Amino acid sequence: MTEAIASSWTTGTVREVERFGETYVRLRIEVADRHDHVPGQHYVVRLRAPDGYTAQRSYSLASDPADPLIELMVECLPRGEVSGFLHDVVEAGDELELRGPIGRWFVWGGEVPSLCVAGGSGVVPFISMLRYARRMGTASHLTIVASAQTRERLPYIEELEEFGAFIALTRENHGDRVAAHIYPDELAELSKGIERAYVCGSAGFVSFVGRSLGEAGVPSDIVRVEQFGATG
């Protein structure tokens, strides 16, 4: 697989739109002049109003690099300018301005035994890693921990369960696990034998997990962080 960073804008045609209640929308997009991506990379989506005003935001790829379409999963935020439009307005057949794939640091090429810890929509880049790992037969190198308030707030929960991801819901029980944030001793157990850790989610989440990984004995220099937040 080649590590591609595309710097110019291109056009994507939305082929499939699936809305999950008020919370998430999955967009599957055909991209003109597409470059292969590495799991963990993202695209920038630019919206343009008739008066020329533009707004752009980053969205991680959920798709396997071999997928003929790219897949984005967008959480609809209250009063969110771009996420609200993508959730409420976009339909199959629409065209979007896109730039990507972007990112060299938060990527996983399949070879390094890794722990991925996600909060809510932070799980999206790990879905690309999971799908890639399944196809390449390297799933044993990937341990995924995903946290959200409820099942409904965790996109791809069925796919994560099928993969054997560790799921920590904070406001409802998940199987035998009573509702709670991820405990440091859970992370300590899950991080045995890893050579790298990826953490993705809101500012509060990545800070909490960073501290917990430290308590679990994971050296900070093997931890890679991607933060989704107000500045994203």
Question: Among residues 74 and 115, whose Cβ is nearest to ligand FAD?
Answer: 74
Minimum Å gap between C-beta 192 and ligand FAD is 28
Minimum Å gap between C-beta 25 and ligand FAD is 9
Question: Among residues 121 and 147, whose Cβ is nearest to ligand FAD?
Answer: 121
Strand order in the sheet with 42-48: 54-60, 42-48, 95-102, 10-20, 24-31, 70-75
Backbone angles phi, psi at 127, to 5 degrees: -70, -40
Minimum Å gap between C-beta 80 and ligand FAD is 2
| CA–CA distance, 28 with 18 (Å, rounded to integer) | 9
Question: Among residues 4 and 77, whose Cβ is nearest to ligand FAD?
Answer: 77
Q: Which helix (H) or strand (E) holds 143?
A: strand 142-148
Residues that bind ligand FAD (CB under 6 A): 42, 57-60, 73-75, 77, 79-84, 121, 124, 202, 226, 228-230, 232
Provide Rg for the chain, Cα atoms.
Answer: 17
Question: Among residues 13 and 58, whose Cβ is nearest to ligand FAD?
Answer: 58
Residue 6 to residues 42, 101, 154, 163, 218: CA-CA distances in angstroms? 11, 6, 30, 31, 33
Minimum Å gap between C-beta 141 and ligand FAD is 22
